[in-house]
Amino acid sequence: MNRPEKMHADTMTCGVCVEPGLFELREMPLPAEAPAGWALVDICAVGICGTDYHIFEGKHPYLNYPRVIGHELSGRLVADAAGLGAGDLVVVNPYVSCGTCHACKRGKPNCCEKIEVLGVHRDGGMSARIAVPEGNLYPAEGLTEIQAAMVEFLSIGAHAVARSGIEEGDRVLVTGAGPIGIGAALFARLAGADVHLLDLSRERLAMAADKFGFEHLHNDSDPAGILTGDLASGFDIVFDATGSARAIEAGFPLLAHGSTYVLVSVVKDDITFNDAEFHKRETRIIGSRNALKADFMRVMEAIRSGKIDTDALLSAELPLADLPERFAALASDRSGLIKAVVRP
C-alpha cells in the first residue's frame, strides 16, 4: 500500500539525477492511466546498482539528464492486468523492447535494437508509481517486496551464466566481486562449477567469504600470478564484472585452452588482446547483456527455494527522503556494499 508521503493528490515525489553529482527529489505528475498494453504499478522497493552510481557520476554512455533513476523494481498492480489482480506483488523487467526488430523476432528482446531501459533511456521507478508494459511484469509469489526488488540484478548474473555454456566441474573465475559479480558467482556455483573470485578490494573478498562461503579468493594485483599449481592451465570460463577495460584485457591470459570469456560489464573503451594467444586457445568471447524472462524466473525460484540468501545481499534499506543526503557517500564507498534498497 502507498504511504501518504509518497503521493500528494495528483503528484508524487521522484528521485531525479538532475546532472552529474546532483540528485534531488522533485514533485512530478502521478500517472493516472497507462497506455494500451501497459499497466500502472505502485512501487514498493527500488534497488540501487552500478548503473545508478554511474549516472550520478556522469559515466553512463547512453543517458540524458535530468532522469528519474531506478530500474531494480518491485511493486503492486494498481488494477487487474497481465492475468494478475490489483494489489499483486510483481517484479518489473525494466528492458522495454520494440518487439519488431531482428533481435526481438529471434527471441532476444534483451538486446533489442531499440531497447529502452527504465531509469536510463526513459524515466525509471524511483517514484511512487510507474507505467510498465504488461509483458514486463512477472508475479512475485512467495517473495517479499525487498526480495522482488533484487531479482533484476541477480538476473544479470544468471543470464551471463546461462550464456556461458557452463558445465558441472568447470573451473570458473569471476573478476569483480561487486553485486553483479557476486550474482554470477552464485549462479555458477549452483551450476556445479568450481568458482574463484578475483578483486583488488580485500573487503569485498572478505564479504564474499563471510556472507556467501566462497573459498577461492584472489587479490593479486597481477592476475597472471594466479596461474600457479593446480591453476597453471587457466580457467574454463572467466566472467568479467569489473567495468574496467584494463581488467578485461588482463583477463585474457587467465583463460585456459578451449575456454570462454563472458563480458558482463560494459566499458566505453576499446578492448585489445593478442590474437595469436587468443587463437591458440580457441577461446570464445561472449557479450552478456541484460536478461530474459527465463532468467528472472530462474532467480525467483532460487530465492523461493532458499538457494540464494537475500538477507546476505541486503546491505542497507533507506527511505527515498534520505537518499539526497546519502547518495554521494553510497557512490563513493562501495567496497562494503552489495545492495542498497530504497523505499519510495
Least confident of 59-63, 127-131, 139-143, 326-330: 59-63
* Better-scored residue on pLDDT, 266 or 285: 285
Joined together, the cell numbers standing for residue 186 give 552464485
Q: Decide if domain 156-287 falls under CATH 1.50.10.10.
A: no
d(CA 57, CA 53): 6
Q: Print the SS3 string covering the chain.
A: CCCHHHEECCEEEEEEEEECCEEEEEEEECCCCCCCCEEEEEEEEEEECHHHHHHHHCCCCCCCCCEECCCEEEEEECCCECCECCCCEEEECCEECCCCCHHHHCCCHHHCCCCEEECCCECCCCCCEEEEEHHHEEECCCCCHHHHHHHHHHHHHHHHHHHHCCCCCCEEEEECCCHHHHHHHHHHHHCCCEEEEECCCHHHHHHHHHHHCCCEEECCCCHHHHCCHHHCCCEEEEEECCCCHHHHHHHHHHEEEEEEEEECCCCCCCCCCCHHHHHHHCCEEEECCCCCHHHHHHHHHHHHCCCCCHHHHEEEEEEHHHHHHHHHHHHHCCCCCCEEEEEC
Q: Decide if domain 4-141+309-343 falls under CATH 3.90.180.10.
A: yes
* pLDDT surpassing 60 at residue 2: no
pLDDT value of position 44: 98
Q: Which residue has the cell 562494503?
A: 336
Q: Is the four-CA dihedral 279, 287, 234, 221 of positive or negative sign?
A: positive
Distance of CA 150 to the CA centre of its chain: 8
Across the range 72-87, mean pLDDT stands at 97
Q: What is the mean pLDDT of the chain?
A: 94
* pLDDT surpassing 90 at residue 140: yes
pLDDT digits (tens, 9 = 90+) for 39-50: 999 999 999 998
* pLDDT surpassing 70 at residue 60: yes
**Band (5; pLDDT cuts 50, 70, 90):** very low
**Are the C-beta atoms of residues 188 and 208 closer than 8 Å to each other?**
no
Residue spans per domain, the chain = 4-141+309-343, 156-287
Across the range 89-116, mean pLDDT stands at 97
Least confident of 205-219, 299-313, 322-336: 322-336
**Band (151; pLDDT cuts 50, 70, 90):** very high
pLDDT value of position 185: 98
pLDDT value of position 163: 98
- Asked if domains 4-141+309-343 and 156-287 share a fold, the reply is no
Phi and psi torsions of 159, nearest 5°: -65, -40
* Better-scored residue on pLDDT, 132 or 336: 132
pLDDT value of position 6: 55
* pLDDT surpassing 70 at residue 291: yes
